[in-house]
Amino acid sequence: MHCNKDVYTIKEIAEITGVKPVTLRAWQRRYNLISPQRSEKGHRRYTEDDVIAIKQVQEWLSRGVSVSKVAAIIAKERETGDQGDLLPSTSKDLEEVKAVMDALAATNLNKAASVVSQVFKEYPIKVCYSSFYLPCRHAIHQLNAKAKQLSLSIFEELVCKELDKELEVLAKGTGKEQVIIATQQANQRIEALFWYGLQNFPAKRVAVFENITNAASLQPLLLSENVVKVIFFTENELNKQTKTTLSDLSLEYGDKFVVANSHSDIEETER
């Protein structure tokens, strides 16, 4: 709990707001959206005013405003109480959706990689998922079969790389304790990692094992001292036997075992 503190470190402010440290730094350096104080050693120190400012930025981003436009909107709102023509269209899709689709259409891999990387640095994971990843996938699925296959493969590889970078950051300084995500289906790494990122779990090392069709096979991991949580991630309609197995594991291992369903849980988090 941080409610009685006057000053927070960047790690603490990230836990409070759900905004990654790399994103907080980008908001300060590139857009001057927040202005944390500095300690004698030069470390960022955030106040309650910064928490309010960060939440205000998050609110605008959730409404589909590009991060590059948020500062101007907030400044005009404070000055006149009105946002006027600075407000976005009704679409909540980020402008970067068109940019990455254009890059994919031109098979410009460097440009596509640059756009995806920028989005993950500058936006919270919720916005990355709902206003960038999902709209891009929808747009890609509107392409003809040949273009769709290549574009989807490139896009998902780029997103996977960014999500893996997030895991590497989370793993720093966390010791040997580990979280295991077991997906019931193959090719569910991206959805599983987005789900995990939206839960705001404490930072731990994370490993993803795909195509684990039998949840009972996870029991050795649940018995491991280094494993602090096992997440069974599925999109399937569960049959009676699987439900029984999952219920038994939950009863036996308590909070150490979590069952997650991708779309329903992510959508609930977004609402």
Predicted pLDDT at 271: 36
pLDDT tens digits, 3-60:
556 899 998 998 888 898 999 999 999 899 999 999 988 999 999 999 999 999 998 8
Residue 75 pLDDT: 78
Q: Which residues, given as ranges, of the chain have pLDDT below 70?
A: 1-5, 78, 80-91, 173, 262-271
State the pLDDT at residue 265.
44
- What confidence score (pLDDT) does residue 167 get? 82
HEC letters along the chain: CCCCCCCECHHHHHHHHCCCHHHHHHHHHCCCCCCCEECCCCCEEECHHHHHHHHHHHHHHHCCCCHHHHHHHHHHHHHHCCCHHHCCCCCCCCCHHHHHHHHHHCCCHHHHHHHHHHHHHHCCHHHHHHHHHHHHHHHHCCCCHHHHHHHHHHHHHHHHHHHHHHHHHHHCCCCCCEEEEEECCCCCHHHHHHHHHHHCCCCCEEEEECCCCCHHHHHHHHHCCCEEEEEEEECCCCCHHHHHHHHHHHHHHHHHEEEEEHHHHHHHHHC
- Residue 76: the pLDDT is 78
